[in-house]
Amino acid sequence: MTSIELRKKFLNFFKDRNHTVVSSSSLVPNDSSVLLTTAGMQQFKPYYTGKVDPIRDFGSKSTVSIQKCFRTSDIEEVGDDTHLSFFEMFGNFSFGDYFKKEAIHYAYKFVVEELGIERNRIYVTIFAGDNSVSGDEESFKIWNEEIGLPKKQIKRRGRSDNWWGPTGSEGPCGPTTEIYVAKNLDDARLGNGLEIWNIVFNEYYQNKKGDFDKLEIPGIDTGMGLERLAVMTQGANNIFETDLFIPIIRQIKEVSNGLEPRIIRILADHIRSSIFLIADGVRPSNKETGYILRRFLRKVIVYGSKYDIHADLFPVVLERVAEIFGEIYPDLKNKEEILNVYYEEKGKFNKALSNGLKIFNDFVLRIKPENSIHKLQKILGIGRFQNIFHGKEAFSLYETYGLPKELIQEFCEEKGIVFDEKGFDEEYKKHQEVSRAGSEKKFGGHGLVLDTGELKAGSQEDSEKVIKLHTATHLLQQALRNVLGNDVKQMGSDINSERGRFDFSFNRKLTEEEIEKVEEEINEIINKDLPVYYKEMSIEEAKETGALYFFKEKYPNKVRVYFIGPKDGFPSTSSRPAELGEARPKGVAGRAYSVEFCGGPHVENTLKVGKFKIQKQESVGAGVRRIKFGVITA
């Protein structure tokens, strides 16, 4: 039985039983309590509560539909025989029309008589009951006494299996009975089968607080995955061997070579899912559904390079998806627009990816190899050796390059590195708070005047420019010291969105060569894309790092020290004021290029500064020189 035949059979079966056929609603629901449509009942929620009259809208208190659904909850399972992110759900619904008896009889009749699945292969589950709701004996009787299903094929299960309701939002809910299909009677008795149909008895309404209110009119909500049904009726071993997937899988195999079956399945699922999301109006972004789509698309793109797939899979899979589903979902015929969304995201991501991978590979090069002592410790079970990709560092890949968290996680897994998920999540939360506070500060209507008092900017664009020039100022001071000697000290600076100005102690004009050397050094550092970060510490500790500061200035007890260079680095000795003697790194590896007392803000990574250029040099009195400089951002 083809999937087209299945669709017709299902809709007609219920149409013949006074159900009105309702078409699928969009994957993006009207209902703001959920991000995506995850079940057929979602578009019918107001009918269960009696808020809206089904007779007025459908001419009937019962409906039937085939609903496009999207679930990210099973994402880890995608690639096995039965799970998908996008799928279609058959469902019949009653809003105060019929209840348990009819719902169970309909389902049984459809599965056994219409689909021809032998009764011996079926078993069902019912709600066993718990402290708050008693067991569903009514359903037991219907299955056992009316249908005649032997007791061994009826299993009682708890709330986690046989209860359906919204998680974290509000909606109708209640106990369920589920139909499973096994290979044979023995397996059915043992409970080894695949769930195909979930029948929910909506007797309650779960409110926002999570309490249950009894619904005035009990309702029916059923859901049966089309793909699993196709497995049963097409003699397939898994969902990917059904007519809903065969052309897609074949297409991917054809243009890629020797991909592992699980990867082919994941690609088939993710590309198909993305296509349906785009067709329903979702666009890639960093928020909500947009982020879900972005993650899917980016994973597909990453797999392209990770598994060395030379063909661009998305466009060819789109052709197959449009052939299989175009008649049913006409929006899929808009192939050009769907492709544009994909290409635009691909362009953005490729840029981000190559930069992000560079950073990650740098990290991999820095990690400690496992040595023989570690191995021995492991054997003895006392080993603690692990390479950890810390949250902060991982988060900067997300923030700066837009690499999805899941992807970073995968990179780590592949290299046997522990991904510090908790740390990542903490950074994420912090970042949200900071960016909220930041935008208030930036757009408060007063322009941007920073702690140092040396920066002024109006619009957001101006602020960004000023911040780049601010970081460039730190680089400039260090480069001047490296080229001209440690007598160079900052005497003042002034930045606006057009240029930076830096005054420093030095008693002659710089030669062309020196100017070039300074520029070269700065651009070299910028291209190394070093992290820029700060640490808050006591004034004593801060001085101990060897950071540059104004000797004249009075600092508070706690100061911020900005580092440009590897994390936990200390200043290179050349930048350390002679009067402080040798820096003592206390076992911390890596040396920062620049370390200065500063309130910030700065760019997060030097690459963000852009290309550095000295525009002019002049004298401003005895022993003080001035340099004007700019940055060019791509």
Give me the residues that bind ligand SER (CB under 6 A), please: 39-41, 91, 164, 198, 200, 221-223
Closest CA relative to residue 497, chosen from 448, 456, 444, 451: 456
Q: Which is nearer to ligand SER, 20 or 396 (CB)?
A: 20
Pairing, β 570-571 against β 193-206: unpaired
**Distance set, CA 552 to CA 32, 454, 487, 490 (Å):** 58, 17, 16, 11
Q: Tell me the closest approach of the beta carbon of residue 193 to ligand SER, in angstroms.
A: 17
Looking at this protein, which amino acid is placed at residue 432? Answer: Q
Kindly state the smallest distance separating residue 197's Cβ from ligand SER, in Å: 9
Q: How many residues does the chain have?
A: 634
CB 4, min distance to ligand SER, A: 22
CB nearer ligand SER, residue 39 or residue 188: 39
Spatial separation of the C-alpha atoms in residues 418 and 363, rounded to whole Å: 13
Question: For ligand SER, which residue has the nearest CB?
Answer: 223
Residue with smaller CB distance to ligand SER, 100 or 299: 100
Q: How far is the CB of 213 from ligand SER (least distance, A)?
A: 18
Nearest CB to ligand SER, comparing residues 197 and 276: 197
Nearer of residues 220 and 230 to ligand SER, judged by Cβ: 220
Rounded distance between C-alpha atoms, residue 590 and residue 9, angstroms: 69
- DSSP string computed for 380-436: TT------EE-HHHHHHHHHHH---HHHHHHHHHHHTPEE-HHHHHHHHHHHHHHHH
Output 20 or 43, the one with its CB closest to ligand SER. 43
For ligand SER, which is the closer residue by CB, 215 or 518?
215
Q: In terms of DSSP bridges, do strands 418-419 and 591-592 run parallel, antiparallel, or are they unpaired?
A: unpaired
Residues paired with 551 in a beta bridge: none
Q: Which is nearer to ligand SER, 199 or 236 (CB)?
A: 199
User: Taking the complex as a whole, how short is the minimal distance between the CB of residue 88 and ligand SER, in angstroms?
Assistant: 12
Do 273 and 88 contact (CB within 8 A), yes or no?
A: no
Residue spans of beta strands (DSSP E) within 473-608: 490-495, 500-505, 532-538, 558-564, 570-571, 591-592, 594-597
Distance between CA atoms of 497 and 485, rounded to whole angstroms? 29
CA angle 222, 224, 228 (to 5 degrees): 170
CB of 36 to ligand SER, least distance (A): 13
Considering beta carbons, is residue 222 or 493 the nearer one to ligand SER? Answer: 222
Give me the least distance between CB of 172 and ligand SER, in Å please.
Answer: 9
Residues 6+ apart with CB under 8 A from 335: 318, 319, 322
Smallest gap, in angstroms, from Cβ of residue 498 to ligand SER?
59
State the minimum distance, in angstroms, from the CB of residue 164 to ligand SER. Answer: 5
Which residues, 6 or more positions from 586, have their beta carbon under 8 angstroms from its beta carbon?
A: none
